[in-house]
Structure 1
Amino acid sequence: MTPITEVEGRRLALTNLDKVLYPATGFTKGEVLHYYATVAEPLLAHLHDRPVSFLRYPDGPDGQVFFTKNVPPGTPDWVRTAEVPRTEGPARMVLVQDLPSLMWAANLVTEFHTPQWQVDAPGLADRLVFDLDPGAPATVVECCEVALWLRERLAGDGIEAYAKTSGSKGLHLLAAVVRMPSSDVSAYAKELAVEAERALPALVTHRMTKSLRPGKVFVDHSQNAARKTTATPYTLRARSAPTVSAPVTWDEVASCGGPSRLVFHADDIAPRLHRHGDLLAPLLTPSP
């Protein structure tokens, strides 16, 4: 019998709670739901008013993994949705605005991905993002070095950067910006990626070409495009273990001492929130 749970007055059917989704650690779907309930406050703050793309993995990361951008079939009528523009025509997408909506979405078993703009101003970015992706044998250690260079470079333009793990191999750098067209933010981000390659030629490439990436950090600036999304802070990732895209301090980045560092799992996040609060809270200040 499917258990029915009431969350803030909304009735939810939560299914297959004992199903193991992360075989490497035995982490179950029930634990996924518990994790998202535990981090709901900061996660919802970063999801607020941003249309969500779901990267679903209902049978775990070794099963079928697929993106869902349109409103999924069976979405409750109390889950807020919004029409957003796309080059192929407008689409209706989900907005995860409250705890019931978050728990409904978590029951789908998903990573949360969001654009750099809010639904009231599609294509007007209020965030800048860099995805630092290491090409083996480079690791997160090299990403940390590049992140520190980009932080200083952004500070030179009066922009304060914040860091989080990707939840995979690398790091994400984020900064709040005054709302402007995504194309302008993309152009600026590309300029900085090119500068980083020029300053650190043995360490950085700004191009995705696979032959250029071994041993270097790919400074991916493309996620600033209006059509692109980035893993939302605090989302679980579809990896062998329940890793999280977790905010980190700059001291942690500066002292990154090995490829096993700066990897955080679901059980690590509540203690980190207790210790640090939401390290990305400055990004939530409304832009003019």
Structure 2
Amino acid sequence: MSDSIESSDNVDLTDDELETNNKGQLIKKAGQLRDRRNDLNQLASERASKRDELNAETREKVDEAQEHREQRDDLNEQVQEHKEKRNELNAKANELFDKVDDRKEDLELSEGKSVDDLESEIEDLEFKQQTEVLSTEDERELIEEIEEKREQLAERKEKLDQSGDLEAVKEKAQEVRAEASEHHQQVTELADDAQEHHNQMIEAYREADEIRDDADEWHEKFVDAQEAADQHHDDFVRVQKRLRELDEEEEDEKQEAREAKEEEAREEAEEIYEAFQNGETLDTEDLMKLQKTGLL
């Protein structure tokens, strides 16, 4: 289908043609106008169909974009929910870790050596005492060191006993932190999905705009074809009206001719009748003329 109307195929009608052309010329012109009008109506119909098809595609793209918008918004709501849960859990974990740190500080557990370290050192010192030959002074110092280590070990164990559920609190804090991390992972994944739907929404709207622009162009082409078809139809109607006027004029002329002929026959019959009254003899033709006009 051509994008533009071939103006050379259009049929023009001037006022002068309408007034001066004879019936034969006007009948031919009417046929040309009718055929061109029908062609243009067909062209307009095809263009309207193309426009409607593109408008339908536009609506589909807009619907697609709306679906992505709804999915994006739903995912963003989930992101917000997981963020709130993550922040809540992180706050709880921080609170538990602070509790552990405060308890350690109170018991001075963060200072000094661990139980394992102290036990290992005591074991090494006792092994040295048993296996090495030491002077009395060195052995005395070694024994004092072992006793000091044992006192430190006892003190450390006592503090650990006093710490109660410190390890349990620490484990709970770690569990809460791990759960918060899971929610953070959900935030990241859902946010990525939401962004993908946002990008697809933008693309669908962009495609919808392009298709809509194309549909608008086809609508303009439809209007051009329809207006041209309407113009040809209007001219066709004008020619038909003119032909009816010519028919009426011909009928009027025929009627006038008939009336003139009848008047002439009546006048002739009156003359014949007057002659008959004056005693003239009438022939058959004269009698028929009198009968025809009703004078006999």
Q: TM-score range by the shorter chain?
A: under 0.3
TM-score normalized by the length of structure 2? 0.13
Indicate the structure with greater strand content.
1
TM-score normalized by the length of structure 1? 0.13
Structure index of larger Rg: 2
Indicate the structure with greater helix content.
2
